[in-house]
Amino acid sequence: MSDNYDELFIIDLGLCKPISDFQDSDNNNNEIYGVLPYMAPEILRRNPYILASDIYSISMIMWEFTLLSM
């Protein structure tokens, strides 16, 4: 989003869903949240979230944003 002064803001739109919503699984203890194209590989391997996971995700979003603006 941007404001009247052309400053950009990163916002959370709440688009992520537990992966278990897409699978037939009754196990809710190890739910994975995220949007698949932006999820770090370690999250898909069910490793713990770390700071690098968020950096990967925002990098993928910025990469896509940059390509679409060309």
pLDDT of residue 37: 82
Looking at the DSSP bridge assignments, the partners of residue 17 are 34
Instruction: Give the Cα separation of 51 and 31 in Å (integer).
Output: 18
Nearest partner of 45 among 19, 25, 21, 15, judged by Cα: 19
pLDDT of residue 53: 86
pLDDT of residue 28: 53
The gap from C-alpha 46 to its chain's centroid, in whole angstroms, comes to: 15
Instruction: Give the Cα separation of 14 and 32 in Å (integer).
Output: 14
Checking if the pLDDT of 19 tops 60, the result is no
pLDDT band per the 50, 70, 90 thresholds, residue 64: confident
Q: Where are the domains of the chain?
A: 17-23+31-68
Gyration radius of the chain over CA positions: 15
